[in-house]
Every structure is written in C-alpha cells, then in structure tokens.
Amino acid sequence: GIAAAPIGFVALDGWSVRWSCDGADLLIGSRPASVQDDAPSASERRVSTRGADTTSAPVPAAPQWTDGPTLDISARVALPTPRPLPVRGRVIEQRDGRIVVRERAGSRPEVVRDVGPGLALAATRGGHFILAIAPRSDRRPHESPERAIVYRVP
C-alpha cells in the first residue's frame, strides 16, 4: 500500500484549526481581536489538503472546544491517555508510541496499517487525515520536543 506521509502547511495564522465538514480542507483561524484564550478567530482561511489555493472562509458558529496538549519549548507534552478513535470502517489506535489504523472490509481479514509515531488527537470522518502530536526528530534549540502533524492515510 501507499505509506502515510505528513503534510506540512505554511501559515501565518493558527489560533484555531479545524477540518471542513467534508474533510477535504483545513480551516485556519487568524488571531482574535481580544487576548483571551477562548476568544474566537477574527477570520478564517480555507487551506486545501490537496495543494489548491488558499481562500477565505465564512466564520462559523463557535465550535465546542476541548482542551488539548500544549506545545512548549521547556517541557515535553503531557499527553492524554490514548483512546481509540472510531471512524467510518476504521479504528485509529496507539501501539507502542505509534499510530495504527485497523480496517476490515467485508469478510476479508482485518488489516492493520502503521501510520507513524505520535498520539492521534482527532481525525476526519473517514480517517483519511489524522491530527497528531509527534516527536520532533529534527529539533533545534528553542523548539518544542513535539510538533502537531497531519498524517494522510489513503
């Protein structure tokens, strides 16, 4: 099969990041007008996971937020307890510090695919894009030991 590969995005924003409903794009929020941690983004940009142009996106209703890990240069991330993420026809799990996807189609035997290192935090409905915290292999001074990464799983 095709190996999963991280997709890097260059963005000047990132106050909030979420998937579009169809899972094809990321919506990246600009900094808010106020300095509160829970302040909404002033605007959002739609970034295609397929490399298409960046476009503006309407600001949606406020999402329901959950607290996630904080990336900091001074300490490793306090990772939450791994939990399976069930998605359409797949289950995303953690095994020995790696993200794996279990998949069963009909009467065929279950297939387990290794995605990469890290902890899965969220995924699109079909499990084709996985947001994770992964160790930074090329860490330089003044960078956090981990990074946020998006894995593409065919």
CA distance 112 to 127: 13
CA distance 141 to 128: 33
What local confidence, expressed as pLDDT, does residue 91 receive? 95
What local confidence, expressed as pLDDT, does residue 72 receive? 76
Q: Where does the chain show beta strands of DSSP type E?
A: 5-6, 16-19, 25-29, 44-48, 55-57, 85-87, 90-95, 98-103, 111-117, 119-123, 129-135, 146-152
What local confidence, expressed as pLDDT, does residue 108 receive? 82
Mind listing the pLDDT tens digit of every residue in the chain (154 residues)?
555 655 555 555 666 777 776 677 777 777 787 877 677 777 777 777 776 666 655 555 555 556 667 777 777 777 778 889 999 889 999 999 899 999 887 788 889 999 999 999 888 888 889 989 888 888 788 888 888 889 999 8
Nearest to 146 by CA among 50, 82, 63, 70: 70
What local confidence, expressed as pLDDT, does residue 130 receive? 92
Every domain of the chain and the residues it spans: 9-63, 66-154
What are the helix and strand counts (H, E) for the chain?
0, 12
CA distance 93 to 74: 28
Contacts from 75-79 at CB under 8 Å and sequence distance 24+? 75/145, 76/145, 76/146, 77/133, 77/144, 77/145, 77/146, 79/119, 79/133
